[in-house]
């Protein structure tokens, strides 16, 4: 989040006789008991630093333009409460001067007061510090100028993509150039855009050091989500890379214009179609085994590599949720070894990142693993029957390396009660069971590895006479 220019400049702006000629009483620097009020600093209106140029006022929405503030102070270090006094008037009619004040101003912190501005009106205002005990007052500051803009842009901008016709397929690999036109609206100052179809609040303010406002605009955000017009009422050009997962197929950008006060106009959507640009994913080593590393080679999409070299690959295992970034060589190729340890097998989405910022569509790789235990029983065969009251044994064996198995957890007949037994040296175990009634029986079992991973559950059905 960047600060606007001048946000931390703590300089008093002092009015002169030529800068303000209204017939108003301007007290001198009268001495309060123990100290003298200081001329206010850090003048803000609508959360923006004040402008002392009447030809270039701060433009603010009607709701914010009447919020004016300044930092008060005193030469008396023990002062804890002062009055921030503000006077304001329409520039077109200086006789309509009015005063607002904040009687609980804390020295060294911004003090806020508000007035209700008329829409589409430019105001001048000044501030001074008053000692509430003695009535002593500082000099007035120089005049600040703010324009209350109550009218949003009346028309949506016109959006074009040079070289990429709307609603037609075009190659991927390069940032998309968008030309934004104000569509005849004279006070457009910039444009806000979104690939997701919605817009955040254009201007966001919060309190910084000493209560001084910190304002974030679409143009100053990191990353930005807007672009300033080349001039007020003019166009703008921006080169954008769609977010990950949105760089192929229909790519839609929503755009709206913002006037100098940040008022947003109606939005327009512009859609083009981008051809897929996935890298090639090649498995180099043995067939995947649970808990074993597998080597891969990633090769860039030729069209992407020709436009801008691939610098890295992002590998997301959609089964485990893990993400790995692999740097690419000068030819855009990369090799890596990944540990695969999902009980159902692993699914990889691999995207490339180019030097120009392009994020490719995903190349995919997947494997299927069966990590259910093997369940056998000569006492309760699947094609035969056991006997009520006669104990029997179920043998459990892993389908993966037995050295990885720590235990088995089981229950009979889908019961809520489970039992865990340790596995032997080869990852096997035997379960003793004595049926108490005839009918169908079910055994539900899963293994747990020495790393604490629960593998896929297995089922065994049998009959009891």
Task: Read off the pLDDT of residues 112-138 as tens digits, 9 standing for 90 and up.
Answer: 999 999 999 999 999 999 999 899 999
Q: Which of the 8 DSSP states describes residue 139?
A: P
- CA 379 from chain centre, in angstroms, equals 60
Residues 291, 341: Cα–Cα separation, whole Å: 5
User: How far separated are the first and last CA of the chain, in Å rounded?
Assistant: 75
| Residue 351, both tokens | 């995207």
The alpha carbon torsion through 26, 29, 30, 35 (nearest 10 deg) reads 140
Residues 226, 214: Cα–Cα separation, whole Å: 18
3-state secondary structure 260-320: CCCCEEEEEEEEEEECCCCCEEEECCCCCCCCEEEEEEEECCHHHHHHCCEEEEEEEECCC
What pLDDT shows up at residue 307?
Answer: 97
Q: Are 84 and 114 in contact (CB under 8 A)?
A: no
Q: Is the peptide bond before 126 cis (omega within 30 degrees of 0)?
A: no
Residues 347, 342: Cα–Cα separation, whole Å: 9
Nearest to 187 by CA among 254, 255, 263: 263
Q: Are 79 and 108 in contact (CB under 8 A)?
A: no
Q: H or E segment at 65?
A: helix 62-65
What pLDDT shows up at residue 6?
Answer: 33
Backbone angles phi, psi at 249, to 5 degrees: 75, -155
3-state DSSP assignment of residue 63: helix
Task: Read off the pLDDT of residues 252-264 as tens digits, 9 standing for 90 and up.
Answer: 999 999 999 999 9
Q: H or E segment at 104?
A: strand 98-105
The per-residue pLDDT string of the chain (465 residues; one tens digit each, 9 = 90 and over) reads: 322 333 333 334 434 333 333 333 333 333 344 589 999 999 999 999 999 999 999 999 988 999 999 999 999 999 999 999 999 999 999 999 999 999 999 999 999 999 999 999 999 999 999 999 899 999 999 999 999 998 999 999 999 999 999 999 999 999 999 999 999 999 999 999 999 999 989 888 889 999 999 999 999 999 999 999 999 999 999 999 999 999 999 999 999 999 999 999 999 999 999 999 999 999 998 888 888 899 999 999 999 999 999 999 999 999 999 999 999 999 999 999 999 989 999 999 999 999 999 999 999 999 999 999 999 999 999 878 889 999 999 999 999 999 999 999 999 987 778 999 999 999 999 999 999 888 888 999 999 999 999 999 999 999 999
Q: Which of the 8 DSSP states describes residue 50?
A: -
Backbone angles phi, psi at 303, to 5 degrees: -65, -40
DSSP bridge pairs for 89: 124
Residues near 433 by beta carbon (within 8 Å), at least 6 away in sequence: 380, 391, 392, 393, 394, 412, 443
Burial (CB count <10 Å: 0-12, 13-18, 19+), residue 465:
exposed
Task: Give this prediction's pTM.
Answer: 0.79
The alpha carbon torsion through 118, 122, 128, 129 (nearest 10 deg) reads 40
Task: Report all structural domains of the chain as residue ranges with CATH numbers, in order of start.
Answer: 37-149 (2.60.40.10), 158-274 (2.60.40), 280-366 (2.60.40.1930), 374-464 (2.60.40.10)
Q: Are strands 144-149 and 58-61 parallel, antiparallel or unpaired?
A: parallel
% the chain with pLDDT above 90: 83
Residues near 168 by beta carbon (within 8 Å), at least 6 away in sequence: 272, 273
């Amino acid at each position: 989040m960047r600060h606007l220019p001048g946000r931390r400049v703590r300089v008093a702006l002092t009015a002169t006789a030529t800068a303000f000629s209204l017939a108003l009483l301007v007290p001198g620097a009268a001495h309060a008991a123990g100290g003298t009020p200081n001329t206010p600093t850090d003048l803000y209106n609508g959360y923006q630093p004040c402008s002392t140029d009447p030809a270039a006022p701060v433009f603010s929405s009607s709701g914010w333009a009447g919020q004016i503030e300044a930092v008060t102070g005193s030469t008396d270090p023990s002062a804890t409460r002062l009055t921030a006094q503000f006077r304001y008037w329409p520039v077109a009619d200086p006789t309509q001067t009015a005063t607002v004040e904040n009687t609980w101003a804390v020295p060294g912190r911004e003090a806020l007061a508000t007035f209700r501005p008329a829409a589409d009106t430019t105001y001048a205002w000044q501030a001074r510090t008053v000692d509430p005990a003695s009535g002593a007052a500082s000099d007035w500051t120089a005049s600040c100028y703010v324009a209350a803009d109550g009218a949003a842009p009346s028309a949506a901008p016109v959006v074009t993509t040079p070289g990429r016709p709307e609603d037609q397929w075009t190659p991927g690999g390069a940032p998309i150039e968008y030309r934004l036109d104000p569509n005849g609206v004279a006070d457009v100052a910039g444009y806000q855009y979104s690939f997701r179809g919605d817009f955040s609040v254009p201007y966001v303010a919060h309190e910084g050091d000493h209560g001084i406002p910190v304002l974030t605009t679409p143009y100053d955000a990191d990353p930005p989500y807007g672009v300033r017009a080349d001039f007020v009422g003019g166009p703008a050009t921006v080169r954008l890379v769609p977010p990950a997962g949105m760089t192929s197929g229909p790519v839609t950008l929503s755009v709206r214009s913002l006037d100098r006060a940040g008022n947003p106009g109606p939005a327009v959507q512009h859609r083009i179609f981008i051809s897929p640009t996935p890298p090639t994913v090649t498995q180099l080593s043995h067939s995947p085994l649970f808990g074993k590393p597998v080597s891969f080679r990633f090769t860039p999409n030729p069209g992407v590599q020709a436009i801008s070299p691939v610098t890295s690959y992002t590998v997301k295992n959609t089964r485990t949720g893990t993400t790995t970034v692999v740097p690419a060589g000068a030819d855009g190729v990369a090799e890596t070894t990944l540990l695969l340890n999902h009980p159902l097998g692993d699914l990889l989405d691999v995207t490339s990142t180019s030097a120009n910022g392009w994020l490719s569509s995903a190349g995919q790789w997947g494997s299927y693993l069966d990590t259910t235990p093997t369940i056998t029983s000569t006492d309760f065969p699947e094609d035969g029957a056991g006997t009520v009251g006669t104990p029997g044994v179920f043998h459990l064996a892993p389908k993966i390396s037995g050295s990885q198995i720590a235990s088995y957890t089981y229950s009979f007949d889908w019961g809520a009660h489970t039992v865990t037994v340790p596995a032997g040296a080869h990852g096997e175990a035997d379960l003793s069971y004595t049926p108490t009634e005839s009918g169908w029986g079910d055994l539900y079992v899963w293994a747990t590895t020495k790393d604490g991973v629960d593998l896929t559950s297995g089922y065994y059905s049998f009959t009891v006479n």
